[in-house]
Amino acid sequence: MPVIPVNGMRLSYEEAGTGDPVVMIQGTGGGRTVWQLHQVPALTAAGLRVITFDNRGIPPSSECPEGFTLRDMVGDVAGLIERLDLGPCAVVGTSMGAFVAQELALARPDLVGRAVLMATRGRTDFLRAELTRAEIDLYDSGVRFPARYAAVLRALRSLSPRTLDDDTAMADWLDLFELSSAPGPGQRAQMELSRLANRLNAYRDIRVPCQVISFADDLITPPRLGREVADAVPGARYELIEGCGHYGYLEDPAAVNKVLVEFLTRELP
């Protein structure tokens, strides 16, 4: 697994496939391996070269416990694209990764050929602001829930009712969540980035072709907030995927991958 210096820190990344490059950006607490179960195989089978990486805050990339900004993360992706001579390339982001992707498309359109924005938003409403504050307060308190309890809470807020009602699927999900590592100081720094200012007016200046994907049962980033981003970005396409929560790309990878492959491989006008 290569590690390169980018934007004053160390960034770990992996590549798979050949063809036009696609850089994939994970959300808060997510590592590059999350993409490798479903999205990387689908995209490489479609003839694309896929670059996944660990955001700053997620080891083995630099943890940066002193904190960082969304601009820093945009600079990380820009530096990765430049160091690997990928641009202009496609970028795919989910949740916080989508915030990074849309800001990169705005700030460095020379590096972005097209962008997919999953589970995204362009502002922070009251409930999402309070959720972020509560998560940060919990982390700073030093209280750590028992692993199984934390897994159940994560499932309730991140998955769809369809999945929650499937006993067999839930047994697997809870085991997976329970094995996940507890958040460290780098993830604490990532939490701060959920305090997203209202950027909808700024996104009217994005000229990169964009595909917004929302998940119908997403409690963390409800579809109405993704729809706002699609309405703000000129010419953006919008897709609502039913029966999925915040982790829709893992709950229904076939539906998500179909949208990804179609958008990332189609001829642009």
Instruction: Kindly state the tokens that stand for 85.
Output: 């001579």
Sheet holding 210-215, edge to edge: 3-6, 9-16, 48-53, 20-25, 89-94, 112-118, 210-215, 237-241
Identify which of 107, 111, 110, 89 has the alpha carbon closest to the alpha carbon of residue 99.
Answer: 107
Whether residue 41 has a cis bond before it, omega within 30° of 0? no
Per-residue pLDDT band at 179 (split at 50, 70, 90): confident
Q: Which of 12, 61, 62, 95 is catalytic?
A: 95
Query: Can you tell me which residue has the tokens 């179960």?
Result: 37
- For 213, how many CA atoms within 13 A lie in the half-sphere containing its CB? 29
Span 58-110, pLDDT tens digits: 999 999 989 999 999 999 999 999 999 998 999 999 999 999 999 999 999 99
Span 18-58, pLDDT tens digits: 999 999 999 999 999 999 999 999 999 999 999 999 999 99
Crossing angle of helices 70-83/96-107, nearest 10°?
70
In this structure, how many other beta carbons lie within 10 angstroms of the beta carbon of residue 163?
Answer: 21
Per-residue pLDDT band at 121 (split at 50, 70, 90): very high
Known catalytic residue: 38? no
Span 206-237, pLDDT tens digits: 999 999 999 999 999 999 999 999 999 999 99
